[in-house]
Amino acid sequence: MPEIPDLEAICGFMNQHLAGLAVAETELRFPWLVRSEDGLDRIAGHRFESVHRYGKFLIFEWDGDIAMVVNPMLTGRFTWADPSERRRPATAITIVFAGGNELRYSDQRKMGRWYVVPSGEVDSVPGFADLGPDALEIDEETFVAQLRRRRGMIKNTLTNQKFMAGIGNAYSDEILWEAKLHPHRTGSTLDDDDRRELYRAMHATFDWARPLLEAQVSERLYQRNEEWRDHLRVHRQEGEPCPRCGSAVKAQVRSGRETNYCLTCQPLFA
């Protein structure tokens, strides 16, 4: 599932390549992907102004005060394509721009959610108003204060979108590794030094990932159904040496989610 570093890179690419382009037509193969009263064809004839991210949502702004909110969920992937490139069967949504280039969206599990709403009504999108502060925007004092009230396991807190939006299974593992905190430590075992270290680690991880992901988007965003995960240090690296100490990375699966960590760097009992 795309998380903050992935979506930031995607926004950067789109703001560069789509600026000022008008939509010629839209094609929607799986109608249930668009869940708003307005359909996708509402953006036809309108110009792309910008796209930004909040949590795991992308918010596209079109001229005429139209917003398009997209949550790609697990398997939604964007490709920027030349019209001569054959569309893959998994292409679910195509936005054709004047001049011919296409923004294509594929979604293996077809779980993504698209909404076309007036610009002032983005908060009406289901789940949007419940989101906590964005992880890139929350300040350290607010983060520490809110974390003090959380008793559950730290990984669950970091990935709880109502606590803070934008971090998922992959980057929570990376941030906790950077902070040298075991993912299953509970809130009550942390002190303020740990919480401040976690805040530092969160930004250090985003700063580390940013150039790697900017390099990934290259000329066309995603290639097929890839996930930008090869650079990660512990997530899905079970058995590989920890880049810091060389111990084998551990894995635990709970409720279908894999958690990876280095037990030497991240002891459960500090």
Residues that bind Zn ion (CB under 5 A): 242, 244-245, 247, 262, 264-265
What is the nearest approach in angstroms of Zn ion to the Cβ of residue 220?
A: 36
Decide whether 216 or 237 has the Cβ nearer to Zn ion. Answer: 237
Decide whether 56 or 235 has the Cβ nearer to Zn ion. Answer: 235
What is the nearest approach in angstroms of Zn ion to the Cβ of residue 246?
A: 7
C-alpha–C-alpha distance, residues 37 and 85, integer Å: 32
Q: How many CB atoms sit inside 10 A of residue 99's CB?
A: 9
Structure tokens at 50: 């910008």
Decide whether 67 or 201 has the Cβ nearer to Zn ion. Answer: 201
Decide whether 33 or 176 has the Cβ nearer to Zn ion. Answer: 176
What is the nearest approach in angstroms of Zn ion to the Cβ of residue 266?
A: 7
What is the nearest approach in angstroms of Zn ion to the Cβ of residue 262?
A: 3
What is the nearest approach in angstroms of Zn ion to the Cβ of residue 247?
A: 5
Phi and psi at 43, nearest 5°, equal -85, -5
What is the nearest approach in angstroms of Zn ion to the Cβ of residue 237?
A: 11
Decide whether 53 or 180 has the Cβ nearer to Zn ion. Answer: 180
Decide whether 61 or 174 has the Cβ nearer to Zn ion. Answer: 174
